[in-house]
C-alpha cells in the first residue's frame, strides 16, 4: 500500500523541486490529472507538460485521462512518457479498443470509475485491465471531501484484483484521517494531491501520510 502524489496541487512554477521532494520521501509513482474542460469543468495538463516531467524523473507516471474522446489522446500522452493510462468508463466509447491501443503503444491500460457509476459498468472489463482507479470524489478539482460510499466498489473489485493481478487505487479526498479508511478498504495505491502539496511541505506530508498508513 503506497501513497501516489497527484501533481494537480503542486506549485507548477517549482515543479521540479516538488517532484524531487516526493522522490526523496520515497514516492514511486506520480499521478497526472489530465482534464479537458469538457468531460470535467477544468483544464490542466497537456502532453507537453507530461513530456517535460518525463525528462526529469524516472518515477512511474500514471496519466488519469478525464477527457471526452480519450481515444484521440492516448497516443500523445504515451509518446510524452506515460507508463499507465487510465480511461474513464464514462467517457470511453469502447473500453477494450482503448485498452488495446494503450497496450500496442507500450503502456499499461487502466480503468477509472466515477462515484455515481455502478460497479456493474466495469465488471466485464476487469479481466482485461492492468489497473483500476476508483474515484472517491467527482473529478475536476483537488481538495474535495471524500465520498466514502465509493469504497463499496473497492470491496466488490477485490476478488477480481486478486484473480487477475491488477492494483486498485483510490483518488480524491485523501488526508491524514481518511487515509485510514483507504487502508481499511484494502486498496493498493492511494492518490493524494492537496494533502501532499497544498501545505507547501510535500516531503513531510508524504512521510506523514505513509507513517499513518503503516501505523493505522
What residues are labeled active site? Answer: 33, 171
CB of 41 to ligand DX5, least distance (A): 10
Closest CB to ligand DX5 belongs to which residue?
Answer: 193
**For Zn ion, which is the closer residue by CB, 38 or 163?**
38
Positive or negative torsion for Cα 12, 209, 126, 84: positive
- Terminus-to-terminus CA distance in the chain, angstroms? 12
> 119 with 81: CB under 8 angstroms?
no
| CA dist., res. 8 & res. 152, Å (int) | 26
Residue that has been written with the C-alpha cell 507547501 in this structure: 200
CB of 144 to Zn ion, least distance (A): 11
> 176 with 141: CB under 8 angstroms?
no
Collapsed DSSP state (helix, strand, coil) of residue 161: helix
Apex CA 166: angle with CA 112 and CA 126, to 5°? 55
CB of 167 to ligand DX5, least distance (A): 16
Residue 193: contacted member of Zn ion, ligand DX5, none (CB under 5 to 8 Å, by partner type): ligand DX5
Residues making contact with Zn ion (CB under 5 A): 33, 64, 171
**For ligand DX5, which is the closer residue by CB, 78 or 146?**
146
Residues making contact with ligand DX5 (CB under 6 A): 6, 8-9, 31, 33, 64, 137, 139-144, 171-174, 191-195
Residue 173: contacted member of Zn ion, ligand DX5, none (CB under 5 to 8 Å, by partner type): ligand DX5
CB of 143 to ligand DX5, least distance (A): 5
Amino acid at each position: 500500500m503506497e501513497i501516489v502524489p497527484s501533481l494537480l496541487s503542486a506549485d507548477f512554477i517549482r515543479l521540479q523541486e516538488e517532484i524531487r521532494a516526493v522522490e526523496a520521501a520515497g514516492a514511486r509513482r506520480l499521478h497526472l490529472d489530465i482534464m479537458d474542460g469538457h468531460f470535467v469543468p477544468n483544464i490542466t495538463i497537456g502532453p507537453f507538460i507530461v513530456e517535460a516531467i518525463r525528462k526529469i524523473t524516472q518515477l512511474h507516471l500514471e496519466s488519469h485521462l478525464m477527457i471526452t474522446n480519450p481515444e484521440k489522446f492516448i497516443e500523445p500522452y504515451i509518446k510524452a512518457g506515460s507508463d499507465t493510462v487510465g480511461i474513464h468508463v464514462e467517457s470511453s466509447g469502447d473500453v477494450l479498443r482503448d485498452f488495446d491501443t494503450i497496450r500496442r503503444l507500450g503502456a499499461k491500460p487502466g480503468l477509472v470509475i466515477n462515484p455515481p457509476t455502478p460497479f456493474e459498468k466495469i465488471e466485464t472489463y476487469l479481466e482485461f485491465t492492468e489497473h483500476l482507479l476508483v474515484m472517491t470524489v467527482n473529478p475536476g478539482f483537488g481538495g474535495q471531501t471524500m465520498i466514502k460510499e465509493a469504497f463499496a466498489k473497492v470491496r466488490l473489485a477485490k476478488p477480481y484484483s486478486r484473480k487477475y493481478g491488477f492494483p486498485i487505487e483510490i483518488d480524491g479526498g485523501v488526508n491524514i484521517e481518511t487515509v485510514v479508511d483507504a487502508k481499511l478498504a484494502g486498496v493498493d495505491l492511494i492518490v493524494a494531491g492537496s494533502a501532499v502539496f497544498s501545505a507547501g511541505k510535500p516531503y513531510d506530508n508524504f512521510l506523514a501520510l505513509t507513517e499513518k498508513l503503516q501505523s493505522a
